[in-house]
Structure 1
Amino acid sequence: MQTTTTLSSFDDFLAAARAQPESQRLLFVFGVAELPQTHSPGQEKRFREGRGGALSPVMCVDKAITELADFSALAQESQSTGQPWDVVFAAALAGPSGREPSDAEVEQALRSMIGAVHRSAVERFIAFDRDGHALHFS
């Protein structure tokens, strides 16, 4: 997905995906903040203050744009799993030659996203908090 707009909310993300000329599949990886097993006292302090920790992927899903009206629909569906999460990473995947991405392409993209979250290499995704506000990592 290409856009020159700054995305500050989930609604912005959906609007940008819907505006693309190619058919898009929306990809989501949900993560939970955890304190690493081997951590320093400073890391623990920052984590307790809500400013640190490591993100671990806990679930993922893909959606057609038509399957998702807004963030609350995604949040409600995620709550039905019973799996807690702190952040959701999102991306849009376009299929080649104007067609929707195949199931295999979607699966590979989700695996790639999960690996990126494990490595903390999330700069190419947009991230949202539990209220649908865009997060910026530094």
Structure 2
Amino acid sequence: MEKISVVDDNMTDFQRFLEYARKKEAPQVLCSIVCEAALLEEGEGISLMPVTTVDLPLQKIRGYQDVLNAAGLLGQDWELMCITMLEDPDGNMPSAIDTNKRLDVMLALIRQGRADKMVMFDRSQKFIKLGEYNYTNMMH
């Protein structure tokens, strides 16, 4: 299975993520799973519960608000957005079938507690590393 995350050492926010993704010449689709988060009973870590999925061609994304609008998140509770970029190895726009397969892989990673394999952002567009995040600040 291909590696599905796209991160550089200077990742700080969603805009930086877009800049990094746009350096590639191949057409790409942003695949996203928006999640609610709950603290685990032990107080160590979180449990993610998917709320919705979004896929958008990179060229249609000007900023974070475009992804939020596509997800229809107005008035919904959510804490983290898990994101990967999908590109076709032949340089074509990824198909709907490939995009759905990617979203299925992402959902499986979340169910397996391996969401840290994806790029994540919080509601304020801040890049999140699960192991370094103060989980109590994430909750409303």
Tell me, yes or no, whether TM beats 0.5: yes
Aligned length: 127
Q: Is contact 1:31–1:56 with CA below 8 Å preserved after alignment? A: yes
Q: Which of the two has higher C-alpha Rg?
A: 1
Task: Tell me, in whole angstroms, the C-alpha distance in 1 between the residues paired with 2:127 and 2:47.
Answer: 18
Residue ranges of structure 1 left out of the alignment (5+ in a row): none
* 2:56 counterpart of 1:63: yes
- Where does structure 1 differ by over 4 angstroms across 4 or more consecutive aligned residues? 1-5, 79-82
Task: Tell me, in whole angstroms, the C-alpha distance in 2 between the residues paired with 1:106 and 1:129.
Answer: 23
Partner of 2:92: 99
Residue 89 (structure 1) aligned to one of 61, 64, 82:
82
TM-score (norm 2): 0.79
Residue 102 (structure 2) aligned to one of 109, 121, 125:
109
Task: Tell me, in whole angstroms, the C-alpha distance in 1 between the residues paired with 2:6 and 2:68.
Answer: 25
Residue 6 (structure 1) aligned to one of 4, 10, 17:
10
More displaced 10-residue stretch of structure 1: 90-99 or 69-78: 69-78
Change (3 A) 1:119 1:75: same
Q: Which amino acid aligns with 1:28?
A: S
Q: Which amino acid aligns with 2:24?
A: Q
Residue ranges of structure 2 left out of the alignment (5+ in a row): 132-140
TM-score (norm 1): 0.80
Q: Which amino acid aligns with 1:114?
A: L
Name the % identity. Answer: 22
Deviations 1:5-39 (A, max 9, x none): 43111001111111102111111001101256xx4
